[in-house]
Amino acid sequence: MKKRDQRRAQQRAARKEKIRKQKAQQRIHSAAIQTAATVNVTPETVAQSMNEAVKRHRANDFSTAARIYREVLQLLPDHSDALSSLAMIEAQKKRPAKAIKLLQRAISLVDDNAGYYMNLGAALTQTGEIDDAAAAYIRAIELAPTYPDPYYNLGDLYLETARPDAAIAVFDACIRARGRDFHALAYKAHALRDANKSDEAGLLLDRDLFIKRYKFDVPLGYADLAELNSSLAHHISTHESIEANVRSTVNGDHTGELLNPPMGPMPQMKDAINAAIAWYIRQLPDLPEHPFIQHCPEAWHLTAWGVVLKNKGHERSHIHPNGWLSGVFYVQLPEVIDDPRLEPQGWLEFGRPTADLHIQSPQETEVYKPEYGSIILFPSYFYHGTIPFKSREKRICISFDAEPIYK
């Protein structure tokens, strides 16, 4: 028994020694790899890694982006941008506590980066630390007064916590700092209703005053509207840039830019849309202090894109913050749009803010029926979307923005 026990003890000791040596070898190997990697670290290689991580991050490939950020941090533990970017992924994965620790580390290294404080505010909002979140947003604004996102988030935080007057003050500060900010103006317009300031809200959101229909004249070269629309429908449906379900489009296709350069029937459409915009400007009331009229441009850059909606398709509510004036021209409409027996389907709807804006009061919406031969024009800060429709026929339109050119 003693000899057998002795052999077993020797075998256990040998196994432990073997494991100890293997772990030691692994540590030596890891240290060698780390040393070799560190020797090869240059600003260029780190920048390449960060660029690839950001690319993956923007493509919503969070796992790959996080892995690359961690690899950078393994080599350079004090890389503040990698810390902040990894924190954003943790927050997006609903792990705000981890995000907060990473951001606090980044800020301890670089305490004058507005983006870090902006991201910290968002993570603190997730954990319900409202006062600390507000303080982080305010610090971001102090560091970068023209950086819009902290204003938007701080204002929305005040709306979510039933402080609409504070939210309005933040949106006003954003507009003062940036000169023209249609995101902030849209937020303010709806926040005014939360603050029971209906008259001010009504002035900013006056649909009778600012939503116009322009009677469309068929351009030269086309026998009638039907021929033009047939040409436009084919041009949009076969455009090389068309993609499914992008931006605010649900169950439909969306083209890229149709005017760069204008091809097919688009040169004539460009002229017709510019004529509609000039007509709209002539209809504006004499209200020079109104924030929309105040920024009426003498010149603008026209951008246009096509939208093809299919059965049950619609556009989610949104605004066009880069534009001053927006509009839509209808190319093909399913018959269900005209059916008087049904609730409106496929119609244009105004006045419904996006769900991520925490408006507390009921919002007043209004629908507009699409019609052939007319262009609907409206301020770019007006929230708008479309009502879903049921039909095998497609709903095709051209949407556009007049982006102001200021001297």
pLDDT one-digit tens code per residue, 70-120: 999 999 999 999 999 999 999 999 999 999 999 999 999 999 999 999 999
pLDDT at 17: 65
pLDDT at 23: 53
- Please answer whether residues 357 and 345 qualify as being in contact, where contact means their C-beta atoms are separated by less than 8 angstroms: no
pLDDT at 11 over 70: no
Whole-number percent of the chain with pLDDT over 90: 83
Contacts of 317 (CB under 8 A, 6+ apart): 248, 349, 352, 353, 354, 383, 384, 385
Q: Which of 339, 332, 270, 324 is CA-nearest to residue 307?
A: 332
- In the chain, domain spans: 1-28, 43-203, 207-405
pLDDT at 25 over 60: no
SS (H, E, C) 373-406: CEEEEEECCCCEEECCCCCCCCEEEEEEEEEEEC
Q: Tokens 């796992």 sit at which residue?
A: 63
- Please answer whether residues 394 and 343 qualify as being in contact, where contact means their C-beta atoms are separated by less than 8 angstroms: no
Q: Identify the helix (H) or strand (E) that includes residue 68.
A: helix 62-75
pLDDT at 31: 41
pLDDT one-digit tens code per residue, 215-252: 988 998 999 999 999 999 999 999 999 999 887 899 99
98: number of Cβ within 10 Å: 15
Mean pLDDT of 185-211: 96
pLDDT at 9 over 90: no
More confident residue, 15 or 202: 202
The reply to whether 43-203 and 207-405 are identical in fold is no
pLDDT at 317 over 80: yes
More confident residue, 377 or 244: 377
CA triplet 110, 115, 118: central angle to 5 degrees?
115
Please tell me the CATH code under which domain 43-203 is placed: 1.25.40.10
- Give the whole-angstrom CA distance, residue 152 versus residue 183: 8
SS (H, E, C) 73-96: HHHCCCCHHHHHHHHHHHHHCCCH
pLDDT at 10: 65
Whole-number percent of the chain with pLDDT over 70: 90
Look over the chain and give the mean of its residue pLDDT values, rounded to a whole number.
91
Contacts of 48 (CB under 8 A, 6+ apart): none
pLDDT at 40: 64
More confident residue, 187 or 27: 187
Task: Tell me the pLDDT band of 406, cut-offs 50, 70 and 90.
Answer: confident
- Please answer whether residues 336 and 321 qualify as being in contact, where contact means their C-beta atoms are separated by less than 8 angstroms: no
Mean pLDDT of 262-285: 96
pLDDT at 183 over 60: yes
- Please answer whether residues 99 and 62 qualify as being in contact, where contact means their C-beta atoms are separated by less than 8 angstroms: no
Radius of gyration of the chain (CA): 29
pLDDT at 114: 97
- Give the whole-angstrom CA distance, residue 390 versus residue 384: 20
Task: Tell me the pLDDT band of 129, cut-offs 50, 70 and 90.
Answer: very high
pLDDT at 363: 84
Mean pLDDT of 52-58: 92
Is it true that domain 207-405 has CATH number 1.10.540.10?
no
pLDDT at 28: 38
Identity at 343, one-letter amino acid code? E
pLDDT at 214 over 50: yes
pTM: 0.85
